[in-house]
Amino acid sequence: MLRNGALLLKGRRVGLVTHAAAVTSELTDSVTALLRCGVTLAALFVPEHGFYGAVADGQEVRNSIHKHTHLPIYSLYGTTHEPIPAMLADVDILVCDMQDVGVRFYTFISTLYYVLKGAVKVHVPVVVLDRPNPLNGVTREGPVLKAGFESFVGALPIPLRYGMTLGELAYFMNHTQEINAELTVIPLAGWEREMWFDETGLPWVPTSPAMAHFATALVYPGACLLEGTNVSEGRGTALPFEVCGAPWIDGEVLAAYLNALALPGVRFRPVQFVPTASKFVGELCGGVQIHITDRAVFRSVTVGLHLLAALKALYPADFAWLPQSWEGAHPHIDLLAGTDQVRRALDDRVEVAALVESWAEEIQLFEDAGRRYWLYA
């Protein structure tokens, strides 16, 4: 894939949108790999978490200089999300090489969206070096984002778990959002839609401080919904998103409640933990760890909704939605879900199964519309 991309880039000044998780199968980072292929790099651009993937979620990433190449590193997660003309003055073509996690509110796809929008304004073509969707390309979950709930954690009308690669999604957004950038995707070799990341033979490099392992990505689509509540989603622990809790939760009670539901492919274990960052720093929290027993039938979003429903049922006086978001005017849960339907339904004690079933048609419509942009069988 790199060789094919390098031929396309020959003789052009390249702006590279990338981060630490974009490595070859030999763990060579994308900057080094492209330079070895004879590509002329003019500037680097980075998404949330920065070039080295070390900046915490939601924290501003600042412009800097790459310490080995001395190239400018422009942040696309700070005062601007869209590359401005001054950043592209010395760039003939933009290359995007980012490892995504396959979830709408993971902001790398929003970065890609704004890269395309910025590039088209100054007539700079874009090349996407495609990478696998870690959560496979066949399973889709959650509501399609509704108009009025757009934010940087939800820029596109797609399901929460969308089942496409970043390259496929680039074609989808470029056409359906009428961006019309000059776009080329360099496809993956050997990837099939049914593949999970650990079946690709590629090494997992943390995509963010809270996504250190592929196992975390499996629970992330549903567990991250807790980010919109006053319950810890496990940030500041060794198992972010795999554990959750609060000082007022009895883990034994919560685990028993959830296990009694007999949800497919998952069991819950009572835990205690003390976060070192984010919510409840230094406080002892009770809660549960999510253990996946069969990922083929495990549905993270459904499990996340059941977890929210359980917390509301067991701790009605303590559980609360966060009233606002750093990403926009709506409550954060609404921006994560891409709609206020989830919050309102759970407040009204709508059955989770009915809520999930209500999205079946819109997910199917998305799949049918997205199929024309698929690059892989």
Instruction: Give the domain ranges of the chain.
Output: 2-204+367-373, 214-339
Each of the 377 residues of the chain gets a pLDDT tens digit; together they read: 566 667 789 999 999 999 999 999 999 999 999 999 999 999 999 999 999 999 999 999 999 999 999 999 999 999 999 999 999 999 999 999 999 999 999 999 999 999 999 999 999 999 999 999 999 999 999 999 999 999 999 999 999 999 999 999 999 999 999 999 999 999 999 999 999 999 999 999 999 999 999 999 999 999 999 999 999 999 999 999 999 999 999 999 999 999 999 999 999 999 999 999 999 999 999 999 999 999 999 999 999 999 999 999 999 999 999 999 988 889 999 999 999 999 999 999 999 999 999 999 999 999 999 999 999 99
How is domain 214-339 classified at the CATH fold level?
Aspartate Aminotransferase, domain 1 (3.90.1150)
pLDDT score recorded for residue 8: 87
- pTM equals 0.96
CATH 3.40.50.880, applies to 2-204+367-373: no
8 Å CB contact between 97 and 22: yes
pLDDT score recorded for residue 191: 97
The three-point CA angle 95-374-93 to 5° equals 15
Q: Helices (DSSP H) in the chain: which residue ranges?
A: 2-9, 30-36, 108-121, 166-176, 214-223, 251-259, 300-314, 332-337, 341-347, 352-357, 360-370
pLDDT score recorded for residue 165: 98
pLDDT score recorded for residue 327: 86
Q: Which amino acid is at 69?
A: T
Best CA proximity match to 224, nearest among 335, 124, 376, 365: 335
Q: Which residues pair with 325 in a beta bridge?
A: 328
Contacts (Cβ under 8 Å, ≥6 apart) of 68: none
Strand 72-75 and strand 64-65: pairing? antiparallel
8 Å CB contact between 337 and 300: no
8 Å CB contact between 301 and 264: no
Contacts (Cβ under 8 Å, ≥6 apart) of 85: 121, 122
CA 183 – CA 140 distance, rounded (Å):
25
Best CA proximity match to 141, nearest among 376, 356, 374: 356
Best CA proximity match to 143, nearest among 366, 312, 373, 306: 366
CA 75 – CA 56 distance, rounded (Å):
14
8 Å CB contact between 73 and 64: yes
Per-residue H/E/C for 250-296 = CHHHHHHHHHCCCCCCEEEEEEEECCCCCCCCCCCEEEEEEEECCCC
Residue 272 in tokens: 């205690």
Hey, is 91 helix, strand or coil? Answer: coil
8 Å CB contact between 42 and 69: no
The three-point CA angle 101-157-377 to 5° equals 55
Q: Which residues pair with 23 in a beta bridge?
A: 29
Q: Which amino acid is at 169?
A: L
CA 5 – CA 13 distance, rounded (Å):
13
